[in-house]
């Protein structure tokens, strides 16, 4: 019986990314019991530590783990400020439309860090967030990510009004964010033009 259970667990771990779902459940429970953050523009933080399954061949946190940790941090952020539950009630979905991360210094094994997440601004289709990996050793910003969170079947403004019960003025876009959005737009136009050429050549 024990061998059967161990075999089933091994098959489960081989077939699914079990740690991903366990971590997601842990973040959900953690954010559920934490105090509500009423300011949707407030920066929030979540703690982390570089564990063995996060490492690359050089003994540092591998690049893909940063993006994964950002996913959990955004979920935690939306749970605490009410945007996640509001989007669910309005029948909306929030999906990542674009992200750019800049690595400044690697995070080493067992190094503690926090991810600081904030909503920078929004437009008619998406929220724009900044996420920073800050080492607890010396406060150094090890990596910084910009994320465009697309809202499907609704709009950011409607979700915010649902949460805050009033209209909130959209913050002005910082210059670096404007440049990044311009890059995304130019990339989309180039890909559409490329797709159009491929269709013509068929």
C-beta of residue 153 within 8 angstroms of C-beta of residue 92: yes
pLDDT along the chain (202 residues), means of 10: 74 75 88 91 94 90 94 95 94 95 95 97 96 96 97 95 91 94 92 72 58
Residue 198 has what pLDDT?
58
For residue 202, the model assigns a pLDDT of 57
pLDDT at 141: 97
HEC assignment per residue over 132-201: EEEECCCCCEEEEEEEEEEEECCCHHHHHHHHHCCCCCCCCCCHHHHHHHHHHHHHHHHHHHHHHHHHHH
The pTM for the full model equals: 0.88
pLDDT attached to residue 7: 73
Any idea where the domains of the chain sit in the sequence? 19-30+44-170
Q: Which residues of 115-142 are buried (b: 16+ CB within 10 A; e: fewer)?
A: bbbebbbbeeebbbbbbbbbbeeeeeeb
CATH class, 19-30+44-170 region: alpha beta
């Amino acid at each position: 019986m024990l061998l059967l259970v161990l075999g089933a667990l091994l098959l489960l771990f081989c077939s699914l990314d079990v740690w991903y779902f366990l971590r997601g459940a842990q973040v959900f429970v953690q954010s559920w019991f934490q105090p509500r953050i009423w300011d949707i523009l407030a920066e929030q933080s979540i703690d982390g530590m570089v564990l063995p399954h996060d490492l690359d061949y050089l003994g540092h946190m591998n690049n893909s783990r940063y993006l994964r940790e950002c996913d959990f941090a955004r979920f935690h952020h939306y749970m605490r400020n009410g945007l996640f539950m509001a989007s669910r009630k309005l029948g909306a979905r929030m999906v990542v439309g674009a992200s750019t991360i800049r690595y400044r210094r690697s995070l080493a094994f067992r190094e503690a860090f926090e991810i600081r997440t904030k909503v920078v601004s929004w437009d008619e289709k998406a929220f724009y967030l900044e996420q920073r990996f800050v080492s607890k050793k010396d406060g150094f910003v090890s990596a910084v990510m910009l994320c465009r969170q697309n809202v499907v079947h609704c709009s950011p403004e409607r979700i915010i009004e649902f949460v805050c019960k009033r209209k909130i003025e959209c913050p002005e876009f910082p210059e670096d964010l404007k440049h990044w959005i311009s890059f995304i737009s130019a990339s989309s136009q180039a890909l559409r033009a490329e797709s159009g050429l491929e269709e013509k050549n068929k």
